[in-house]
Structure 1
Amino acid sequence: MSKLKVSFYVLSANKAQDFLGFICQLTQTALNKSSQSLIILTDNEERLIELDEVLWANDAASFIPHQRLSAEVSASNANSVAPVLLSQQLPPNFSGIVINTTARPVNDFIAATSNVLVSRILEIILPDDTSVAQGRQKYKYYQQLDYELTHFKV
């Protein structure tokens, strides 16, 4: 069995100014390279609203089909609703790619009783001291789990 791949995207100050645009670009790239479902994890409701709006209006000629995960989206059909989900949690039966914009490692969102199968993790690191420190903590955590780690400065 191959190791879980975790990619860290360390944003420059310029890229961080267009954080939501970068998320759209990364999401579209992941969708183009894979047929798997994708979930964008975020810390708060405000960020979910912003992501929801920007994904619909990403490009004048297209949009990224997505849905905010809510109570009416049951755990059993979460992967079949839309190719991209937006949430503050991982649904129990999610299978696919995770874009993590939170301060915590993705494993913190996986309940012991769930059937979550994460195939790849994409971590976003902003160019501020807090985000960099959190990124280092997550890197060490994933390293201890023997995940395959890469990082990109963008």
Structure 2
Amino acid sequence: MTRIDFYVLANNDPLARLQLVCKLAEKAIGQNQKVLIHSDSDEQLITLDQTLWDFRALSFIAHQLLPANHVFSTSDNDPVHLSTGAPAPDRTLLINLAEQVPPFFSRFERTLEVINEEPDVQSAGRLRYRFYQQRGYPLHHHKI
């Protein structure tokens, strides 16, 4: 069963939220996990793409920004994919930035939900929390 982790930031800065996503992706890569960062916003993924480039001065998080209708091939082997669409079959960790629970979340070993104090983000996060809770998924909280 997919483990669900909620990371809750004590601020409403959208950039801080994306920087936390970068930290989580970097940690996952260090544990040899393949990551999908999912959003329902192309603009958010473009900003995240740039944030991943600038995240650390002396390192780089290898990633690929994919269109929603991307057809996967063996050349799609970057450890992090950014997409509004369905995942490649080899992904083990989902970082969800979308407002809704992605229909494919249960394909993953873990799903990370990154929440901050933006009212819209909080409200959507509470709905996703109830969704997972009502279906019996193991939930874990991390206050940042």
Q: Which TM-score band (shorter chain)?
A: 0.7 to 0.9
- Which among 98, 101, 107 is matched to residue 105 of structure 1? 101
TM-aligned CA distance change 1:92 to 1:26, over 3 Å:
closer
Give unpaired runs (5+ residues) of structure 2.
none
Which residue is equivalent to 1:127? Answer: 117
Specify the alignment match of 2:27 in structure 1: 29
Which aligned runs of 4 or more in structure 1 are off by greater than 4 angstroms? 14-17
Q: Is the 8 A contact 2:94 2:108 kept in 1?
A: yes
CA deviation after TM superposition for structure 1 residue 12, in Å: 0.9
Among candidates 44, 59, 65, match of residue 47 of structure 1: 44
TM (norm. structure 2) is: 0.86
Q: Distance in 1 between matches of 2:13 and 2:44?
A: 17
Using the alignment, how far apart are the partners of 1:77 and 1:146 within structure 2?
35
Q: Which runs of 5+ in 1 are unaligned?
A: none
Question: 2:60 aligned to 58, 63, 66, which one?
Answer: 63
2:131 matched residue in structure 1: 141
| Distance in 2, Cα, partners of 1:40 & 1:29 | 14
CA distance in 1, matches of 2:67, 2:77: 11
What's the offset of the Cα at 1:97?
A: 0.3
**CA distance, structure 2, for counterparts of residue 5 and residue 91 of structure 1:** 17
Counting only pairs closer than 5 Å after superposition, residues 77-96 of structure 1 correspond to structure 2 as: 77=74, 80-91=76-87, 93-96=89-92
Please give the per-residue CA displacement for 1:25-76, whole angstroms capped at 9, x wherever unaligned.
Answer: 11112222x3221010112111111111111221111110000113795235
AA matched with 1:95: R
Letter of the 1:25 counterpart? K
Change in Cα spacing, 1:40 to 1:81, as seen in structure 2 (3 Å) is same
**What TM-score does the superposition give when structure 1 sets the normalisation length?**
0.81
Q: Percent identity?
A: 34
Aligned residue type for 2:128: K
The answer to which structure has the higher helix fraction is: 1
Question: CA offset at residue 130 of structure 1?
Answer: 2.2
Would you say the 8 A contact 1:94–1:117 is kept in 2?
A: no
Which of 6, 9, 28 is the aligned partner of 2:7? 9
